[in-house]
Amino acid sequence: MLSVLKKGLLISFEGPEGSGKSTHIARLAETLRAAGVPIQLTREPGGSPLGVAFRRILLEQGDGLTPLSELFLYEADRAQHVQDVIKPALAAGKVVLCDRFTDSTLAYQGWGRGLNRRAIQTLNAIASQNILPDLTILLDVPVERGLKLAHASKKGHDRLERAGSAFHHRVRAGFLALARSQPKRFRVIAQQEKIEATQQKISDVVNTFLKKRKQVA
């Protein structure tokens, strides 16, 4: 792994429920840190101190939220997150590894909830200050398998996991549609039977990307 960063990069991890994003992004962070790459590991929702409260509402307490209220809470979380965490980290020359970003809002609130996707794109651009990921890793998993894995890893389902199979099929279709529409940014990695096999694919993609971009030397 190359190790001297020239300027910041944003790498986002996306995927349906149970795709293993949190596990794999943490493992990648360990690998990059061991190689001397400066890392900022973060997530949405909940990547800023204020965002922790947003995350609690969105995933645990918000059963009465309308789809539009849900959307605005995600965008408020993002606006604070970008200003407090992502922009400073990029300015400091770090590789920012973000567990979910703007594509999740399009997939979940656009495809999943059926809200206007163009409006979501506009709100995403405002909240993110037009920051887009340099690379997006989409970890793909069939819906039924993903929900089963997600439930097994927690004490119970969070609010989004309880939205039903049809909702999650729409979300997965949204992610795959986004990946097809932006092949230069997205890398789709199917979940493998063994965690190590999936992680190897992720490491190969990220290492190749960093070398091509010449962000490190």
Is residue 116 one of the residues assigned to a domain? yes
Token pair belonging to 205: 């993609």
Do the domain assignments include residue 2?
A: no
pTM: 0.90
In a domain, 146, yes or no: yes
Provide the 3-class DSSP secondary structure of residue 88: helix
Domain tally, the chain = 1
Confidence of residue 216 (pLDDT cuts 50, 70, 90): very low
pLDDT score of 184:
95
Q: List the domain range (segments joined by +) for residue 60.
A: 9-213
pLDDT tens profile 152-167: 766 555 667 677 889 9
Q: Is residue 40 part of a domain?
A: yes
Q: Is residue 3 part of a domain?
A: no
Please tell me the distance from the alpha carbon of residue 7 to that of residue 107, in angstroms, as a whole number: 29
Q: Note whether 74 and 66 are within 8 A (CB).
A: no
pLDDT of residue 4: 42
Q: What is the CATH number of the domain that holds 133?
A: 3.40.50.300
Residue 74 within any structural domain of the chain: yes
Say if 16 falls within a structural domain.
yes
Q: What sign does the CA torsion over 198, 201, 207, 212 have?
A: negative
Would 4 be classed as within a structural domain?
Answer: no
